[in-house]
């Protein structure tokens, strides 16, 4: 019917092509005007932003598709060579497919995030599984776009699919680390050992809050406000402690401390329990308590246990407790022991004979009940012996002679 109308208006193919081209521009203009004056105003009055995203992403592909359709029809009316018509049609179709694919990817991502953020969202579509479904939707749409473009250019899809197996093996060997991270990310999302906002700690002691869970890596924000990307493969093969998991986010913090042997144990407990009182970030319930752990090498080992509201306060609470315990022990005259070593010098074999010959007190272990010879005393006695003139036949005088003979 449209062709008959064009033939009735003018028999010239060039004028017909011009009319079709102008008509496509007018139709595209009215389509854009419909979106701006009706649909955009309508979606702005709705409560959700999903329809705004859909309208914003559909406007441009629809406008350009109308122009491409009119341009392709106008070109065919000019009756050019067959190969030129094929190239123009395939080019317009390919561009349209790419435009609509990009729009559909953005729309699908918006729909998934909208459904996943709904209050009481249940089933498989949850906030922690959104990255997985988002990536799957992008892969499917991109694969469909590639397939349609190949059909538009009349390429043999069977041959490409056959060669895709060989290419897949080569890519698998070349990108094995990326594929390992991809599968590890899928397992992390499926098993959900942690979720967005959780405070986790790794084997090396690094701690931080999870800010993003992707298919390739997980991002955490440390206490130093540094965001770190950790490949999912490393996370899947290591032990990760989720400090935010469990029935509540409270966490027990243990502060170890030692006191000297002979200290009043009851006084130590009383002083330790006074330290957490009135401190921020420490829970009143459960109440703090102390434990007598063991008899240590240098003192009695105690531990003060307190609960904190959130894991991110752990370092601050440990710092505050150590400071208050040190001050409280100093005020209560409770000694904090440290490792000490007493050195007992029993004998110096060759020097001992010379000291005996000179009448100097020997460096031997004192009998029970006497103080041991200290290192300072021993050093003084050795210096005194070295300051005396060497006697004939003594060890100190014979040593040079023996060395000189050896040198001769």
- Residue 316 and residue 369 share a domain: no
Q: Residue 263 in contact with residue 335, Cβ under 8 Å?
A: yes
Average the pLDDT over 293-303 and give the result.
Answer: 93
- Residue 99 and residue 53 share a domain: yes
In a domain, 161, yes or no: no
What confidence tens digit (pLDDT) does each residue in 106-159 have? 999 999 888 877 744 455 676 667 777 888 899 899 989 998 999 899 887 777
Count of CB atoms within 10 A of residue 228's CB?
Answer: 14
Query: 294: domain range?
Result: 251-331
Q: Give 242 or 376, the one with higher predicted confidence.
A: 242
Residue 53 predicted with pLDDT over 80: yes
- Residue 22 and residue 107 share a domain: yes
Domain boundary among 132, 155, 178: 155
Closest C-alpha to 129, from 80, 76, 172, 187 = 187
Which residues, including other chains, have CB under 8 Å from residue 315's CB and lie 6 or more apart? Answer: 223
- pLDDT tier at 169 (50, 70, 90 boundaries)? confident
Q: Give me the residue label for tokens 């990009």.
A: 102
In a domain, 169, yes or no: no
- Residue 323 and residue 208 share a domain: no
**Domain total of the chain:** 4
Closest C-alpha to 189, from 151, 215, 159, 165 = 215
* pTM higher than 0.85: no
- Residue 354 and residue 286 share a domain: no
Q: Give 260 or 403, the one with higher predicted confidence.
A: 260
- Residue 10 and residue 93 share a domain: yes
Residue 351 predicted with pLDDT over 70: no
**Phi and psi (nearest 5°) for 251?**
-140, 140
Domain boundary among 216, 242, 268: 242
In a domain, 212, yes or no: yes
Closest C-alpha to 348, from 387, 392, 388, 381 = 381
Q: Residue 49 in contact with residue 106, Cβ under 8 Å?
A: no
- Residue 400 and residue 273 share a domain: no
> Which tokens in the block code for residue 375?
């290192």
Q: What does DSSP assign to residue 128?
A: G
Q: Give 36 or 365, the one with higher predicted confidence.
A: 36
The CATH number of whichever domain residue 224 belongs to comes to 2.30.30.60
pLDDT cut 70: percent of the chain above it: 80
What confidence tens digit (pLDDT) does each residue in 68-102 have? 998 888 888 887 788 888 999 999 999 999 999 99
Predicted local confidence at residue 365, as pLDDT? 46
- pLDDT tier at 15 (50, 70, 90 boundaries)? confident
The beta-strand segments (E) located in 227-333 are: 227-231, 241-242, 251-259, 289-295, 300-308
Average the pLDDT over 346-354 and give the result.
Answer: 63
- pLDDT tier at 370 (50, 70, 90 boundaries)? very low
Which residues, including other chains, have CB under 8 Å from residue 333's CB and lie 6 or more apart? Answer: none
Predicted local confidence at residue 359, as pLDDT? 62
- Residue 138 and residue 75 share a domain: yes
- Residue 292 and residue 203 share a domain: no
Predicted local confidence at residue 94, as pLDDT? 95
Q: Give me the residue label for tokens 């700690």.
A: 201
């Amino acid at each position: 019917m449209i062709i008959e109308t064009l033939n009735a208006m003018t028999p010239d193919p060039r004028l017909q092509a011009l009319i079709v081209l102008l008509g496509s521009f007018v139709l595209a203009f009215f389509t854009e005007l419909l979106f701006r004056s009706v649909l955009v105003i309508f979606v702005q009055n709705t409560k959700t932003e999903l329809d705004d995203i859909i309208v914003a992403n559909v406007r441009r592909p629809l406008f350009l598709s109308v122009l491409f359709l009119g341009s392709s029809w106008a070109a065919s009316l000019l009756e050019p060579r067959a190969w030129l018509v094929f190239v123009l049609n395939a080019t317009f179709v390919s561009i349209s497919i790419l435009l609509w694919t990009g729009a559909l990817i953005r729309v699908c991502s918006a729909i998934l995030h909208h459904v996943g953020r709904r209050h009481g969202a249940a089933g498989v579509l949850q906030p922690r599984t959104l990255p997985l479904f988002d990536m799957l939707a992008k892969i499917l749409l991109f694969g469909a776009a590639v397939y349609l473009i190949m059909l538009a250019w009349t390429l043999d899809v069977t041959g490409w699919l056959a060669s895709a197996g060989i290419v897949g093996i080569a890519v698998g060997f070349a990108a094995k680390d990326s594929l390992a991270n991809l599968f590890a990310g899928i397992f992390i999302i499926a098993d959900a050992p942690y979720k967005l906002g959780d405070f986790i700690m790794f084997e090396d002691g690094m701690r931080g809050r999870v800010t993003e869970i992707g298919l390739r890596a997980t991002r955490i924000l440390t206490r130093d406000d540094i965001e770190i990307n950790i490949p999912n493969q490393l996370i899947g093969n290591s032990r990760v402690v989720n400090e935010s998991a469990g029935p509540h986010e409270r966490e027990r913090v243990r502060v170890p401390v030692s006191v000297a042997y002979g200290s009043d144990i009851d006084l130590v407990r009383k002083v330790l329990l006074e330290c957490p009182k009135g401190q921020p970030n420490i829970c009143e319930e459960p109440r703090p308590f102390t434990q007598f752990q063991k008899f240590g090498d240098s003192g009695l080992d105690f531990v003060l246990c307190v609960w904190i509201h959130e894991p991110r306060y752990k370092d601050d609470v440990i710092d505050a407790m150590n400071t208050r315990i040190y001050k409280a022990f100093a005020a209560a005259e409770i000694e904090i022991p440290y490792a000490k070593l007493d050195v007992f010098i029993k004998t110096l074999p060759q020097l001992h004979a010379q000291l005996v010959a000179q009448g100097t007190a020997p460096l031997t272990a004192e009998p029970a009940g006497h103080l041991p010879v200290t290192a300072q005393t021993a050093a003084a006695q050795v210096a005194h012996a070295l300051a005396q003139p060497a006697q004939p036949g003594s060890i100190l005088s014979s040593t040079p002679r023996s060395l000189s003979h050896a040198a001769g």
